[in-house]
Amino acid sequence: MQIKSKALKHFFMMLAGKINRPLYEKLRFRIMRGWWPNIYAPTTINEWLLRRKISKKYEKAELSGAIESYRYIKSKGGVKVPNVLAVILDTNSRAHFDNLADGSYILKGSHGSGMIKSFEILEHVPDIPYEELNQLIDDWLIKDYADICGEYCYKSAVPAVLIEKSLTGGNGLALDIKVHCASGVPRILQFLDRRAGNLKRFTWKIGTDASITKIDMFKGELDSEPDISHSLLDEAVTLAGSLSDGMEYVRVDFMISDNDLYFGEFTFFPAGACMPLKNRSADIEFLSLCGL
């Protein structure tokens, strides 16, 4: 029932977007950010991102896909990627699960955002019925995420579903480090923790000398700095600068497992160009800090 409800929602989103995508995006922005966006002369980071989204402007669009970005990361070296055990390109997927050892896994759609499902293999059998897993894979493979959400970079990604080994061993979601980069220069650093079921975040601005300073920008920011190794933060900043070379703007996402960094994804339109910054002033400051 839940899958059908989401499919219906996606259908109406795609329909509205096809009728008038720019108007749909502006209305969505008005609802989520609280003001009508000026995409012709943007003064905030979300307006700037929305202009790019509507105009379909971005570099290295294929890197929005997990398959393509993992391949790119491996060619660059210096950071680990999740262990991909299977790449599913068609609907005959039962055999992929039969070959998995007992343990914790992630099912992930390569050609869009939000297509992710964790599952366990116990005594060689998934803890989610095969029929449900196969239906999920079938739905994801035919889903045109680009048309649904207007992020047309995903048109360049191969439609596929990946099976990855869980980075947390089934103990919830991994911690995230996200680095917002402009023209290959890291500008804003975020730490996200979803382990307790509610999102906690902390933000730093990155100086020209790569130093980091606390800055209160997003809704739901922690009051005190999280217990995280600054060496990991420094490593993420350095890697993000190298990986984002040649891109006017991209957010480079990492996950933490056993005190190691793993590449997550390249995000061209965080929150679909409606990042939950605490107010319009923070939205303006973010754009300024990025130098865009």
Domains of the chain: 2-55 (no CATH), 83-165 (no CATH), 172-290 (3.30.470)
How far apart, in Å, do the first and last CA atoms of the chain sit? 44
Which of 38, 48, 40, 44 is CA-nearest to residue 285? Answer: 44
> Residue 261: what pLDDT?
95
| pLDDT score of 161 | 96
pLDDT in tens, 23-60: 899 989 999 999 999 999 999 999 999 999 999 888 89
Residue 9 has pLDDT above 60, yes or no: no
Measured CA to CA in angstroms, residue 119 lies from 22, 41, 127, 174 at distances of 38, 46, 6, 15
Instruction: Give the pLDDT mean for 263-272.
Output: 96
Residue 137: C-alpha distances to residues 36, 110, 128, 245 (Å): 37, 11, 13, 33
pTM of the prediction? 0.91
Residue pair 201/222 in contact by the 8 Å Cβ criterion: yes
* Closest to 106 (Cα-Cα) out of 133, 138, 68, 69: 133
Residue 20's pLDDT band, with cuts at 50, 70 and 90, is confident
Bridge partners of 204? 189, 214
| pLDDT range class, residue 6, cuts 50, 70, 90 | low
With CA atoms as reference, report the closest residue to 243 among 289, 177, 193, 197: 177
- The string of pLDDT tens digits covering residues 151-201 is 999 999 999 999 999 998 766 677 899 999 999 999 999 999 887 777 889
pLDDT at 271 over 80: yes
- 200-206 and 125-126: which strand pairing? unpaired
Tokens matching residue 230: 């600054």
Single out the residue of 173, 135, 148, 142 nearest to residue 257, CA to CA. Answer: 173
Phi-psi region of 54 (alpha: psi -120 to 50; beta: other; left: phi over 0): alpha
Tokens of 176: 């995230």
What is the reported pLDDT for 91?
Answer: 72
Rg (C-alpha) for the chain, rounded Å, is 19
As a dihedral over the C-alpha atoms of residue 166, residue 169, residue 171, residue 172, rounded to 10 degrees, the angle is: 0
Burial classification of residue 291, based on how many CB atoms lie within 10 Å of its CB (0-12 exposed, 13-18 middle, 19 or more buried): exposed
Task: Among 90-104, 117-131, 194-208, name the one with the lowest average pLDDT.
Answer: 90-104
